[in-house]
Amino acid sequence: MKHLTRNDYAEALALLAQLQPAASDARTFAREAVLALTGFVASELTTLSECDLVTGRRCVVGLPGVRLAERDIECFDRHFFEHPLVRYHGFEGGRVTRRISDSLSRSQFRRTALYADYYQRVGLEHTVAVPLWVDERRLVSVVLNRRGLDFSERDCERLEVMRPHLAFLYRQAGRHATPGAADAGPHLPEPGPGPEPAPRHAGRQALTPRENEVLQWLAHGKTDAEIAALLGLSPRTVHKHLEHIYVKLGVETRTAAVMRALALRPPH
């Protein structure tokens, strides 16, 4: 994540904290995730898209008042299996945030039937997808679209740092879905394999009070030395606490530790 700053990580943490309560309801999570990511990375059209990899059809949830016409959806579905992001995430095993421009140059994309029949007619030029779930039948992604400038490397990194935690919250929301509910938004599958499943041991071991203090200051962007000074510890002791936190939360980095803790926190 070479383009990200401390502020980028702080915004991501704040956004995850905002979204975490929405994971108690499938339809609420879909709506709130779309709304939150629209503000996190600028986009003319942001949706939560569920693709049926067998039938080649999709279900889309967008912002309130923003709805694709049935004819536009039919045009997309007609070229479903040609879409470079559907191929990458649904059939080629891709699990990370990706732009259409990572697969095709702009001139190549503009020569495709998909562009002529769908993107050009709806007035969009650039797309980036954040996969939340994929199995042999279903691909679910948050998809952001723009007209003018393509999504930058920094935009993609901001989305990628959110991706595993959004996927975790998506699975949490799926546990509360009502099977067969006609108005429940996209079908949310039972917990199972996804783009980045939560570690099996995550959340099983409770953090100690001291580890929680260290994690709290970590979330505020403090260094090991600063945390040591604030808590009256040595930097080596702080480092040991962090090692224990990583093991208990099933993560490997400082940012992932804070994000995992937020995702696992019960709703207020």
Cβ neighbours of 67 (radius 10 Å): 13
pLDDT bracket for residue 261 (50, 70, 90) = low
Closest CA to 90 of 58, 123, 137: 137
Report the pLDDT averaged over residues 78-87. Answer: 94
Report the pLDDT averaged over residues 107-111. Answer: 96
The pTM of the full predicted model, rounded to 2 decimals, is 0.70
pLDDT tens, 130-164? 999 999 899 999 999 999 899 999 999 999 999 99
Between CA 251 and CA 264 the distance in angstroms is: 13
Instruction: Decide if pLDDT at 265 tops 60.
Output: no
pLDDT tens, 231-244? 999 999 999 999 89
Instruction: Decide if pLDDT at 184 tops 80.
Output: no
The identity of residue 163, as a single letter, is R
pLDDT bracket for residue 260 (50, 70, 90) = low
Q: Which two tokens stand for residue 99?
A: 């732009």
pLDDT bracket for residue 248 (50, 70, 90) = confident
Sketch out the chain's domains with CATH numbers: 6-174 (3.30.450.40), 209-264 (1.10.10.10)
Alpha-carbon distances, residue 31 vs 90, 102, 111, 169, 231 (angstroms): 23, 27, 33, 13, 40
Alpha-carbon distances, residue 64 vs 31, 34, 67, 129, 225 (angstroms): 8, 10, 8, 20, 46
Q: Which residue has the higher pLDDT, 62 or 177?
A: 62
Report the pLDDT averaged over residues 222-235. Answer: 90
